């Protein structure tokens, strides 16, 4: 499986994402600059964390208009797995690939620490290696991770089982319904604030994030064999 790690001006978690795929997962991966206009050669798209365009206006608001985003949307429409982490999640929200919006943490402070997440849905291409209800440890690092949507959207997220991860125990940022990660209705686009790419080896404090990337590859390989 071949992954693209999209790099925007101000991305700073692209190296972590590249390491997770190449060194821990053992799959193909390339850095792809935000001016790229063709992602057809990739099987999966990864939008890393950071501060794209300095987080001016709103986090992700400028990156949403980068040339590469047309290709990200094309890949999502084609059913390819698209993962946005932290700033990547914010960009997916701004691009309309996921519903809702991101607000400042309720503490109005940047938070960087490990948190516990509960796996609410283990039937997605991103979570097949987890058990439903499993509690995992993943780090967060954000100042605008307070997810919000209106009541109608929240009801739809719940009805379609699109809430994939919730904060377990303490909610670190005030996110609505303790939401830490959601998918689109089709289930191939995941946005999450915690950083699974920073939890792929026990030396980092947790290897719980590696299951997410393994889930993607397993799903893709099974689908590829079926359609071969």
Q: Are 15 and 22 in contact (CB under 8 A)?
A: no
Per the annotation, the verdict on 86 as an active-site residue is yes
Which residues face 114 on adjacent strands? Answer: 139
DSSP secondary structure, 52-105, as one string: GGGG-SSTTTTGGGSHHHHHHHHHHHTT--EEEETHHHHHHHHTTSSSSEEE--
> Which is the catalytic residue, given 34, 142, 168, 195?
195
Q: Are 76 and 184 in contact (CB under 8 A)?
A: yes
Alpha-carbon dihedral sign for residues 219, 23, 119, 102: negative
- The CA-CA-CA angle for residues 219, 102, 165, to 5°, reads 35
What are the distances in angstroms from CA 100 to CA 14, 146, 149? Answer: 24, 11, 4
> Which is the catalytic residue, given 86, 120, 144, 149?
86
Residues carrying an active site annotation: 86, 195, 197
């Amino acid at each position: 499986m071949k992954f693209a790690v999209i790099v925007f001006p101000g991305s700073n978690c692209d190296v972590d994402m590249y390491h997770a795929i190449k060194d821990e997962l053992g799959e193909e991966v390339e850095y792809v600059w935000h001016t790229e206009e063709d992602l057809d050669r990739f099987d999966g798209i990864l939008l890393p964390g950071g501060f794209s365009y300095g987080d001016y206006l709103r986090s992700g608001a400028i990156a949403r208009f980068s040339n590469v985003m047309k290709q990200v949307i094309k890949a999502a429409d084609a059913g390819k797995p698209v993962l946005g982490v932290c700033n990547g999640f914010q960009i997916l929200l701004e691009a309309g690939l996921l519903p809702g919006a991101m607000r400042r943490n309720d503490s109005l402070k940047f938070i960087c620490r490990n948190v516990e997440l509960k796996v609410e849905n283990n039937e997605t291409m991103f979570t097949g290696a987890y058990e439903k209800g499993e509690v995992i440890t993943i780090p967060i690092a954000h100042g605008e991770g307070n997810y919000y949507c209106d009541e109608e959207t929240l009801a739809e997220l719940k009805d379609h089982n699109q809430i994939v991860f919730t904060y377990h125990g303490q909610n670190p940022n005030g996110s609505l319904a303790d939401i830490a990660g959601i998918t689109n209705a089709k289930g191939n686009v995941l946005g999450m604030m915690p950083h699974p790419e920073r939890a792929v080896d026990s030396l980092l404090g947790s290897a719980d994030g590696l299951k997410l990337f393994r889930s993607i590859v397993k799903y893709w390989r099974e689908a590829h064999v079926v359609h071969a």
